[in-house]
Amino acid sequence: MNTIIQSNKRRMAMLKHSIKLLAIVFFIALPMTIFAGETGKITGTVVDKENGNVLPGVNVLLEGTSMGAATNTDGEFVILFVPPALYNIKFTYIGYADVTIKNVRATKDLTTNLYSIELTPEAIEGQEVIVIAEKPLIEINATNEVRVIRAEDIQNMPVRGYSSIVALQTGVVSAGSDLHVRGGRADEVGYYIDGVYVNNPYSSLGGAGTAGEGIAAAPARGTMEVPNTALEEISFQAGGFNAEYGSANSGIISATTKEGREKLQASFESLTDGVFPTSGNPSAFSYGYNLISGAISGPLPGINAIRYSFSGEFRNLDDAKSTWGSHPVYTGALNLETGLPANGEEFVDANGNGVWDKQNYWEINGVGYSNPLIGPALETAEEYVDANGNGKYDAFHISGDDIEYKKGPLPNNGSTRSMWNGNIVVNMKDFIGLPFKLKAGGSSFNEERSSYIHGSSLFNYYNDNGILKLRFPKNESSTSTLYARLTGALMENTYLSFQVSQFRDQYEEYDPMFGEGKGSFLFDDGSTSEAYPFLQYGKRYDYAAESWVTPLLQTAGVRPALVDSVAQFDFAGRVWDDYTKQDMSYLGITGSITKQMGHHELKAGLDIRDYTIRYYRIAAPIRLASTLQQTSPYSSAQKDSLIGTSYDTDENDEISGEEYDTYYDKTIFDAYMNAYA
């Protein structure tokens, strides 16, 4: 038995020496480039209330946690690495009444000083003194300009999202989805969520705002956000911050989310602006605002050492800008196939395509080819009734009386947003006996947006599975974080923190027709290829199982102006002349050692990130259509037309499949290069 005890003692001694050696090596090896902290510190001095003498050895415990400390010979105590939250702190000492201070707030990167805590000699056994902590008016322990917005304040604020909350602070100016601090640029502000840096690697922008608001104004944007119910506190620093925030110049915005506590907690919230009818009040409109939010946190059943916190939010807006002005509405009937006014002159639809045709064939080198996708060849125009006697066919006619200006929500200008946040905290002391804590979690933010364009608001429709929709640009954004953080004490007053994190930001902006991959590429002989989108000018027909129609693909200089009141509006087929897709991410490793030396704190650490940046953009898709119209490639059936060209390398004057593929790929490549340029 004695041998076993001595063996265990030797193992424990070796373990202590190993931990000390690890701490020394880690402390010496790390460069002095430290990362953003996610915890705070609580200090104070315990004294005898009657004579003012300091009391050493007083036990200090954060109730509901395993965190605490004991006062030193000067009666002082320090509790490091305290996650931001409200705590009840209990002081116990033999011969003195217990004292509990309630609602003590720990704040990230700051010290909460309780100053002098007085214990009274116990006159009655079991006597306890309860003190309610007061919220400080200013953060006197901050060495720079720091403002902390806490959970109890956030729940009473009429705005949602941490970036919107920070926008209310002095020194901050909001411009669209960007925040400017003390006159600095938007990319000079650093954003953190649970210690994860969430600025876009390409643009250095962060925050959420409204993705797509001011669409195409910036090629890349940050779009991270978390539910209000998940926020424990928001720390805003307007300059003078520590060296650990080396990636920012004008400000730091850091959001910390809630952890699970010792008791099960749950909340639910639902908001809408559509409860009461608005038809009788011309000044009251429903913008289709609907929001559902919920949160749940607590310990795992039967395992108090493992705690969780999860929250989610879904929001829909029919009009994301809540416009007060008026917008035009065409009050006449529309042709459901073409998106054009349904009041044109009557005609004989010889080929059954629903649109009047002057002729229907493609002429190549004097040879006419019928278009099998449209119908039989028409060498002459289809017959029509010239109702107004002007000698030409009129597909439609519009007067100023057909246009009405209405107030209220803009059509097809909505957004759908969903987000979640969660974490699991494991107190490893209960499992392996070491004072370490493991926290793993993440966040996700997703939004789809359609943006109103005034010039396309009357007639620029497209047919989406039988439903006419205005052809406004769309964008989709998706941002996510994942992290795992290990924290704990290496030795007395020396703490380790090590974190692995992943961040990803995706964004795509597109014309709703081309962005969803509908249609196909049309060759000169009328055959099609599914490999490339159909992008030629002229009348458009249904090339996707009668579910997608683009009647007129307009471009500069060809838009008809029938009457002055509608001359500024595009007809069906106008393209949103921009396409952007990005996928930015990084994998990060961060670590630090913090040493409390008397009243001073020494900290060293590292921050390593491996970035992946993918960015793709066609700044002028209309040029792609123009190039393919002017130099449309031959189909595989027409490849013999290439005989005698530089692609003909066959001695028998035949074009092989490989030669045709080279020609076809180069033609498409040149078209895209023209669009890039």
What rounded mean pLDDT belongs to the chain? 76
Mean pLDDT of the 183-211 span: 80
What pLDDT, in 10s, does the model give residues 48-81? Answer: 988 889 999 899 998 888 888 889 988 999 888 8
Choose from 37-41, 274-278, 404-408 the range with maximum mean pLDDT: 404-408
In terms of CATH architecture, what is 31-132? Sandwich (2.60)
Share of the chain above pLDDT 90, in %: 19
pLDDT band, residue 498 (cuts 50/70/90): very high
The end-to-end CA distance of the chain, in Å, is 83
More confident residue, 359 or 93: 93
**pTM, two decimal places:** 0.74
Contact 151, 258 (CB under 8 A): yes
Class of the domain covering 146-325+410-513+578-618: mainly beta
User: What single-letter DSSP state applies at residue 596?
Assistant: E
**pLDDT value at position 66?**
80
Contact 473, 511 (CB under 8 A): yes
The least confident of 71-85, 274-288, 656-670 is 274-288
- Structure tokens that stand for 638 in this block: 């027409």
More confident residue, 63 or 528: 63
Please, what is the angle between helix 657-676 and helix 621-630, to 10°? 140
Q: What angle do CA 434, 439, 441 make, to 5 degrees?
A: 165
How far apart CA 94 and CA 57 sit, in angstroms, is 10
Contact 91, 71 (CB under 8 A): no
Contact 349, 335 (CB under 8 A): no
How far apart CA 72 and CA 597 sit, in angstroms, is 13
The two domains 31-132 and 146-325+410-513+578-618 share their CATH topology (first three levels equal): no
Residue boundaries of the structural domains of the chain: 1-25, 31-132, 146-325+410-513+578-618, 633-677
**pLDDT value at position 225?**
87
Q: Output the CA–CA distances (angstroms, integers) from residue 48 to 52, 114, 276, 381, in the order listed.
A: 5, 15, 62, 106
What pLDDT, in 10s, does the model give residues 343-381? Answer: 778 888 776 666 676 655 444 445 554 444 444 555 567
More confident residue, 569 or 377: 569
Residue 519 has pLDDT above 60, yes or no: no
What pLDDT, in 10s, does the model give residues 387-397? Answer: 888 887 777 77
How far apart CA 562 and CA 626 sit, in angstroms, is 25
Nearest to 42 by CA among 72, 73, 74, 68: 68
